Amino acid sequence: MTELFPPFEPGDEPKTRRFKPVPMRLLLPNFITLLSLCSGLTGMRLALENKLEMAVVAIFVAAILDGLDGRVARMMKGTSRFGAELDSLADFVSFGVAPAMILYFFSLHNLHSPGWIIVLLFACASALRLARFNVAIDDPDRPAWQKDFFVGMPAPAGALTVLLPVYLHLVGVAHPQGSAVFEAVYILFIAFMMISRIPTYAGKTLGSRVPRSTVVPLFILVVAFVALLATMTFEMLALLTLLYLAGIPLMVRRYRQLEALEPRVTAPEMPSRSQ
């Protein structure tokens, strides 16, 4: 008969299972991603309260945080599959749902049901674009030079460019009553750009190596840009949006040039029957 309480030596007590601690370098990028998500959600609330200026700023802050989390993860070697999935979900809310709702509260509600359909189409385009981006990450056959380009307009850029009607309204451009129709067409154009195969510049390697002779001028340009953005926020956002849209043909041309320089893989010749 086994003893109910068998004797044991000191130190042989059963150890409880403990979870392995998670390094901070893995947590910090996810914290930034969550802040981006919160900023996008806050933008929707501000738009509902008719605070368009703050709503636009909230989306802009979300875009900045979204650009930081990936770079911080790569610098700290804290990239993970969990972080990539969390980033995609946060991007869908901050750059797919939030801008569409801001535009709906701004002018699309005047179109009633068609306006809401446009909101749904933009949000769906954002979701499809993010899903395709996640699949492209796992493609091992992708050439190295293609890492400098996105397939279609990225979600943060789509969110910032689609808000152009709001920027123009905030800088004092007239907003006639029938302008909601033209804004709807513009929103559909941005949604198409997000799900299209048109290449756009990613800028991931931009600034990785800076010549010494351009360091001081670069500092001056950055300070001037930040000062203009802080003092003339909506004017600068409108200008940057127009420059980005105007530069898409140049991005496509550069992509085609690099694609033409890529060596072609030819199929091996089949031996003829006479050999």
Give the per-residue pLDDT at 157. 93
Place 104 in a pLDDT band, splitting at 50, 70 and 90: very high
141 or 120, which is more confident: 120
Q: How far apart are alpha carbons 272 and 270 in whole angstroms?
A: 6
Residue 117 CB neighbours (<10 A)? 13
Place 205 in a pLDDT band, splitting at 50, 70 and 90: low
pLDDT at 59 over 70: yes
Residue for token digits 């007239």? 174
CA-based nearest residue to 120, from 130, 108, 132: 108
For residue 257 the two structure tokens come to 């040039």
pLDDT digits over 17-36, tens only?
Answer: 566 776 677 788 889 999 99
Helix residue ranges per DSSP H, 49-178: 52-75, 81-92, 98-106, 113-137, 155-162, 164-170
128-143 b/e (C-beta count within 10 Å ≥ 16 → b):
ebbeebeeeeeeeeee
Q: How far apart are alpha carbons 204 and 144 in whole angstroms?
A: 12
Q: Residue ranges of the domains in the chain? A: 24-259
CATH 1.10.357.140 describes domain 24-259? no
CB 241 within 8 A of CB 167: yes
Average pLDDT of every residue of the chain = 83
Q: How far apart are alpha carbons 177 and 228 in whole angstroms?
A: 31
Q: How far apart are the first and last CA of the chain?
A: 85
pLDDT digits over 222-240, tens only?
Answer: 899 889 988 999 999 999 9
